[in-house]
């Protein structure tokens, strides 16, 4: 949500006046960001020249500076019809110092490392690779940008709203006189996603124009802001419990927490909330909570829909690896489609930073003796295997400290397999698991806790793991194993189409690295039960896995108690689309691999499934999916510990500051509706939606109630979807949020909203009331 205006040409005197006004605006925005007078902020506001790098031949000097809204970076552009470009600070994922991207590593020399830095954006936007004039300058740019990004992310919802509205008001003030006439007020309402008729705009204006001057200024604009941000639904809730001189005492707040939020907490907990979130020091001293403090609490972790206890690692992490769902990526190297899209180490970084714990490396012989990664038999670009391993080593454990599985699709010659093994062992070092834990042959998997900070290789192995403990088990390196070629399913280039039956020569050094994840062909559940070792795992194409999950669900569940199963999308998904992962989770499949590069509903579900437990990438399976004698069948439910009928009551009350869908068209106002979806076992799948609200994305109110019966809550997800209604075509997504049913908090809760790429939308929330009760 940013409000920008094109700058008209100005006379010299007007330019001086504008600059003074700009400094004043920047100062106020710095204050709102908590960076008033900060030298790092001043450095960005002053700006400077940087060398922008796109290729070996495209390296050009460009001026970069932060605009006076303290939220928008401006840089000059020499493109025709465009003299400048901008991006929002909120669009920045991270800032990296040094040659930390593919572009800088490819197009710059090593001796420039200290002067290089990159701005990494959310979503699919390309990185911005830059070179400063000196090491000191580069460090200053990185430090300053990181500070502003961090401060922006750490603002409270109230502070974000103040900052945003202040800048929208500035933008609406077309003539820059610090006053607002009726026409400017209408323009402002359009900017913040509200369409009102002339009569209502006139009424708002006259209500605030105390001076009857025909313009709002100073305290009148403040009154207008207060009127605009008034939350009637909060007033009603607060008024019911504020029984102490018009405010909430600690006892009043405690009553609210017990009665409405269904939290079994003490009076001391209520006092701590007042101390933590009350904004009025006088009220705080009296141990009371004002309406502003109450709203602040409702927007913080304790007032959000996800149970705060689930934000950290709260599950038992000491059980065997097969007892966990593991966040997994397919074709991790791809940034886009599977036919001609680019391959990039950046794709691995993005997946790992989203706590993905199993990544795929599709390995082929490359030139100059170096193995490469790309989607075989297609026109996707290639990246070096060694560069990929370096990137994985650097970013594997930044989000989660739990183990990462490297799933090797090996199509290399013996010579390049040997190089692969060498790169794995030298780059990953002690972090690479090269032998089983302990001194004896294991009979089950180690736990995620035991494997913290370690890399596991999934791939073909020449012999049984047991033979690794026998000194007579040495191999000569020329044995073959059958090859299951996922890439061959594409069959894009007939001349390169592989033979139907193919044997892969396997190099011993690479073979020996597959310890707990030896790839084997699936020959049926009976064969697996009788002949397959715990560390031997099979990969299933989605169609085969879905058929097994539907026709042999209970057998699949028992198989997955002590063996790992990996599911991957069909090769025919040339656009890198995804299958629905939920049915595979309900039968205990651990490694349900999706195309992380594709924003879609299926990835929303995946992100929601792995949202709790500290975003560790590991979720402990329910007890009935870890029991070898389990009778659970998600397709035909029978009585058992899994059957815990719950009734979910959801009241969709309101939404706040929804973004425009069409940001380029200023007159575009959304008509939002909310859909609540339940995903889980087939009997639990359901969906209900509100009516749409015309022309109001700023503060729409629905007050609509829904009820759902959930039979297996341990395997259920709840998804909130906000869409812009369109009777002519498909609704556009405004935002969504998905979380496990078990993570719901009862009571009045705010629901954060995420973009289609899974990034938080600043300030935008849903306000709901949740009540989970035992079904009758």
Which residue(s) pair with 359 in the sheet?
Answer: 406
- Strand positions, DSSP E, 460-498: 480-482
The answer to whether 110 touches 152, Cβ cutoff 8 Å, is no
Q: Give SS3 for 629.
A: coil
* Nearest 10 degrees: Cα torsion 709, 711, 712, 716: -20
Question: Crossing angle for the helix pair 198-208 and 219-228, nearest 10 degrees?
Answer: 130
CA distance 680 to 741: 10
Report the first-to-last Cα separation within the chain, whole angstroms: 45
Q: Please confirm, yes or no, whether 330 is among the known catalytic residues.
A: yes
Q: How many beta carbons lie within 10 A of that of residue 383, not counting itself? A: 23
d(CA 173, CA 165): 12
Q: Please check whether residue 560 is in contact with residue 590, taking contact to mean a CB–CB distance below 8 angstroms.
A: yes
Instruction: Please name every residue paired with 120 in a beta bridge, in sequence order, or none if there are none.
Output: 94
Q: β-strand 128-131 against 288-289: which pairing, if any?
A: unpaired
What sign does the dihedral 90-96-102-107 (CA atoms) show? Answer: positive
CA distance 609 to 613: 10
Q: How far is CA 207 from CA 185, 220, 230, in A?
A: 13, 9, 15
Sign of CA dihedral 503, 507, 508, 512: negative
Q: Where are the alpha helices (DSSP H) in 124-280?
A: 135-154, 157-172, 182-191, 198-208, 219-228, 232-241, 250-259, 267-277
Integer Cα distance of 46 and 9 in angstroms: 20
Q: How far apart are CA 258 and CA 273, in angstroms?
A: 14
Query: In sequence order, what DSSP letters do the residues of 637-665 get, joined into one string?
Result: --SSTT---EEEEEEEEEEE-PPPS-TT-
Residue 306, Cβ neighbours under 10 Å: how many?
Answer: 20
Name which of 441, 586, 569 is nearest 516 in CA terms: 441
Residue 311 and residue 355 in contact, taking contact as beta carbons nearer than 8 Å: no
Number of H helices, E strands in the chain: 22, 33
Region class of 650: left (phi > 0), else alpha (psi between -120 and 50), else beta: beta
Q: State the Cα–Cα distance between residues 319 and 618, nearest whole angstrom.
A: 11
Best CA proximity match to 759, nearest among 443, 185, 354: 354
Q: Are 587 and 549 in contact (CB under 8 A)?
A: yes
HSE of 285, CA atoms in CB hemisphere, 13 A: 3
Strand partners, 306: 744
Question: Using an 8 Å Cβ cutoff, are 325 and 606 in contact?
Answer: no
Catalytic residue among 163, 299, 310, 375: 375
CB neighbour list of residue 363: distance below 8 Å, 6 or more residues apart = 371, 372, 373, 385, 408, 409, 410, 411, 412, 416, 420
Compute CA distances 653 → 199, 512, 573, 696, 747, whole Å. 26, 58, 39, 14, 12
Q: Which listed residue (163, 330, 679, 769) is catalytic?
A: 330
**CA–CA separation, 736 and 751 (whole Å):** 9
Q: What are the catalytic residues?
A: 330, 375
């Amino acid at each position: 949500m940013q409000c920008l205006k094109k700058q008209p040409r100005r006379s010299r005197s007007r330019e001086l006046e504008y600059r003074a006004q700009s400094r004043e605006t920047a100062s106020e925005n710095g204050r709102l960001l908590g960076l008033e007078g900060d030298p790092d902020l001043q450095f960005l506001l002053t700006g400077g020249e940087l060398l922008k790098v796109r290729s070996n031949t495209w390296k050009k000097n460009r001026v970069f500076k932060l605009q006076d809204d303290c939220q928008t970076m401006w840089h000059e552009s020499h493109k025709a019809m465009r003299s400048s470009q901008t991006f929002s600070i909120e669009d920045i994922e991270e800032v990296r110092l040094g040659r930390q991207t593919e572009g800088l590593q490819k197009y710059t020399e090593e001796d420039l490392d200290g002067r290089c830095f990159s701005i990494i954006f959310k979503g699919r936007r390309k990185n911005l690779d830059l070179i400063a004039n000196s090491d000191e300058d580069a460090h200053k740019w990185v430090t300053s940008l990181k500070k502003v990004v961090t401060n922006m992310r750490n603002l409270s919802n109230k502070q974000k709203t103040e900052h945003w509205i202040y800048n929208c008001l500035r933008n609406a003030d077309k003539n820059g006189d610090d006053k607002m006439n009726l026409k400017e007020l209408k323009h402002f309402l359009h900017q913040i996603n509200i369409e009102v008729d002339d009569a209502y705009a006139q009424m708002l204006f006259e209500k605030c124009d105390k001076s009857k001057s025909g313009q709002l200024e100073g305290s009148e604009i403040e009154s207008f802001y207060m009127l605009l941000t008034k939350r009637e639904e909060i007033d009603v809730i607060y008024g019911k419990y504020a029984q102490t001189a018009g405010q909430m005492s600690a006892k009043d707040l405690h009553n609210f927490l017990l009665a409405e939020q269904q939290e079994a907490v003490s009076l001391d907990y209520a006092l701590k909330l007042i101390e933590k979130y009350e904004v009025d020091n006088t009220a705080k001293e009296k141990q009371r909570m004002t309406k502003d403090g109450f709203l602040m609490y409702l927007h913080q972790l304790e007032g959000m829909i996800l149970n705060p206890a689930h934000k950290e690692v709260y599950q038992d992490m000491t059980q065997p690896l097969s007892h966990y769902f593991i966040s997994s990526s397919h074709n991790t190297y791809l940034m886009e489609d599977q036919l001609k899209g680019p391959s990039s180490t950046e794709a691995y970084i993005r997946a790992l930073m989203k706590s993905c714990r199993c990544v795929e490396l599709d390995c082929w012989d490359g030139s100059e003796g170096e193995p490469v990664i790309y989607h075989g038999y297609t026109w996707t670009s290639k990246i070096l295997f060694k560069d990929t391993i370096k990137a994985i080593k650097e970013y594997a454990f930044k989000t989660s400290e739990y183990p990462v599985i490297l799933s090797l699709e090996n199509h290399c010659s013996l010579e390049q397999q040997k190089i692969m093994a060498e790169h794995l062992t030298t780059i990953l070092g002690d972090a690479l698991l090269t032998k089983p834990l302990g001194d004896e042959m294991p009979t089950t998997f180690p736990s995620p806790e035991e494997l913290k900070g370690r890399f596991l290789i999934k791939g073909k192995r020449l012999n049984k793991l047991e033979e690794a403990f026998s000194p007579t088990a040495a191999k000569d390196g020329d044995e073959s194993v059958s090859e299951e070629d996922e890439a061959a399913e594409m069959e894009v280039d007939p001349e390169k189409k592989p033979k139907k039956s193919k044997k892969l020569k396997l190099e011993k050094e690479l073979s020996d690295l597959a310890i707990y994840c030896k790839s084997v062909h699936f020959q049926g559940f009976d064969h697996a039960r009788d002949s397959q070792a715990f560390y031997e795992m099979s990969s299933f194409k989605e169609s085969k896995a879905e058929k097994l999950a539907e026709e042999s669900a209970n057998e699949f569940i028992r198989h997955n108690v002590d063996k790992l199963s990996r599911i991957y999308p069909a090769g025919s998904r040339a656009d890198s689309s995804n299958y629905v992962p939920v049915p595979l989770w309900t039968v205990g499949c651990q490694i349900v691999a999706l195309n992380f590069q594709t924003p879609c509903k299926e990835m929303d579900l995946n992100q929601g499934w792995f949202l709790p437990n500290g975003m560790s990438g590991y979720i402990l399976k329910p007890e009935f999916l870890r029991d070898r004698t389990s009778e659970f069948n998600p397709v035909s439910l029978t009585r058992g510990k899994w059957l815990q009928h719950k009734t979910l009551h959801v009241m969709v009350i309101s939404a706040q500051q929804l973004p425009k869908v069409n940001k380029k068209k200023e007159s575009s106002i959304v008509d939002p509706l909310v859909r609540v979806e339940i995903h889980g076992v087939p009997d639990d799948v359901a969906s209900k939606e509100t009516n749409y609200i015309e022309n109001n994305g700023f503060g729409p109110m629905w007050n609509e109630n829904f009820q759902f019966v959930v039979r297996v809550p341990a395997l259920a997800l709840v998804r909130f979807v906000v869409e812009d209604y369109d009777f002519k075509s498909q609704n556009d997504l405004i935002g969504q949020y998905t979380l496990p049913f078990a993570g719901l908090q009862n009571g009045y809760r705010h629901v954060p909203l995420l973009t289609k790429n899974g990034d938080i939308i600043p300030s935008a929330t849903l306000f709901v009331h949740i009540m989970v009760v035992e079904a009758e």
